[in-house]
Structure 1
Amino acid sequence: MAAYNASMNQKMYAAAARLPHADLTADRNAFFGSILGTMNHLLAADTIWLSRFATHPARYSALAPMLDLPAPSSLTHSFGDYLPSLLAHRHRLDAIITEWAPQVSAEHLAQTMEYRSTRGDLYRKHFGSLVLHFFNHQTHHRGQVSTLLTQAGVDIGVTDLLAMVPDIEAP
């Protein structure tokens, strides 16, 4: 899922780069307003979740840099109004996610994780379910961005996970 998400993020940013800035920031009546607003939300949520995952008892070395980043205080936190500034943060997060994913074991996924919401509410949840939510959340909002890009006249291309699943030759 880490490789799929990094690949799809590259496609999403490349497609967005084909639009003028005004089209990226135009209010499109989406939940997060604009194309950049939705992309910002993805960055905020990923930053928040990776910061939480960095406190997992496994103490993933790949997530150590997250402990030095200020965690966004909300899911609408802005990483800027220009695609290049968002892209720089996206590259950083995707590199961290790609390095982190192989460090996660089945044993870790079976554990309970405790974290606080951005409002300060305490939760205890199954870590495997949180990781599943993390990747599903990215796919969900990239789908929204894909729709907004299509409406703006830009085709992002094939986004199905199935396209990345290798064929197996018959014996």
Structure 2
Amino acid sequence: MSLKQHFELMAEYNRWMNERVYGAAGNLSKSALLEDRRAFFGSILGTLNHIVVGDTIWLKRFAAQPASAEPLREITELAAPKNLNQIIFEDLDELHSHRKWLDEKIIKWISGLTDSDLDFILSYQNTKGVPATKRFSSLIYHFFNHQTHHRGQVTTLLLQSGEDVGVTDLLALIPNQNNV
């Protein structure tokens, strides 16, 4: 499996897990979604918003890579998040709709990348204005890892609220191989 194929798998895993998480979250009341659960971003809704904030920040940065500019053009037109705990959508249905849109953009963007695109060195500034220069493929790894990290927090918060999202392992999406 090539590096690009691994990223395609991660993009599909991202979409699959988001559907599971949002499905479980949709079974909770608005007050349960907003309840401060002492997580990094407070509530279930706060954490789901943070994942969207993080994705938006990174996708805007990734758009500076030449092959990513057109696939991520609509992302660059979004307002830049003001901070990492910004609540972009207070309504779960609106957040879920935006999440689905983002996931489709991510899948399409990743599918269009080539191996040489992944070797690109991206220069950017973090949210505190600190400059960095890093390999594009390593940043994409971070992008997917960040989603998984915070989605794992959400699955715990959901389970504590009585909603089990079921299997969350990437292994569920890794295809079986024939021995040759």
Q: TM-score, normalised by structure 1?
A: 0.95
**What is the CA–CA distance in structure 2 between the aligned matches of 1:129 and 1:170, rounded to whole Å?**
31
Secondary structure of 2:105's counterpart equals: helix
1:107-154, Cα deviation, whole Å (9 max, x unpaired): 121121011222222211111110000000001111000000000010
Match of 1:102 in 2: 111
Match of 1:146 in 2: 155
> How many residues align structurally?
171
Q: Is the 8 A contact 2:68 2:113 kept in 1?
A: no
Secondary structure of 1:58's counterpart equals: helix
Match of 1:125 in 2: 134
| Shift, 1:67, TM fit | 1.6
Match of 2:102 in 1: 93
Among 158, 165, 171, the residue aligned to 2:167: 158
What 5-or-longer segments of structure 2 have no aligned partner? Answer: 1-9
Match of 1:3 in 2: 12
Q: What is the correspondence of 1:57-68 to structure 2 with a 5 Å cutoff?
A: 57-68=66-77
| Shift, 1:163, TM fit | 0.7
Secondary structure of 1:119's counterpart equals: coil
Q: What is the correspondence of 1:33-72 to structure 2 with a 5 Å cutoff?
A: 33-72=42-81
Moved more, 130-139 or 59-68: 59-68
Q: Is the 8 A contact 1:60 1:100 kept in 2?
A: no
Which amino acid in structure 2 is aligned with residue 74 of structure 1?
Answer: N
1:82 aligns with 2:115: no
Among 127, 135, 148, the residue aligned to 2:144: 135
Which amino acid in structure 1 is aligned with residue 107 of structure 2?
Answer: T
**What is the CA–CA distance in structure 2 between the aligned matches of 1:36 and 1:167, rounded to whole Å?**
35
Match of 1:18 in 2: 27
**What is the CA–CA distance in structure 1 between the aligned matches of 2:113 and 2:12, rounded to whole Å?**
14
**Structure 1 residue runs of 4 or more that deviate by more than 4 Å after TM superposition:** none
Secondary structure of 1:115's counterpart equals: strand
| Shift, 1:57, TM fit | 2.5
**What is the CA–CA distance in structure 1 between the aligned matches of 2:111 and 2:165, rounded to whole Å?**
28
Moved more, 20-29 or 61-70: 61-70
| Shift, 1:106, TM fit | 1.6
Structure 1 pair 51/59, CA: closer, same or farther in 2 (3 Å)? same
| Shift, 1:59, TM fit | 3.7
Match of 1:31 in 2: 40
Q: Is the 8 A contact 1:73 1:118 kept in 2?
A: no
Q: TM-score, normalised by structure 2?
A: 0.91
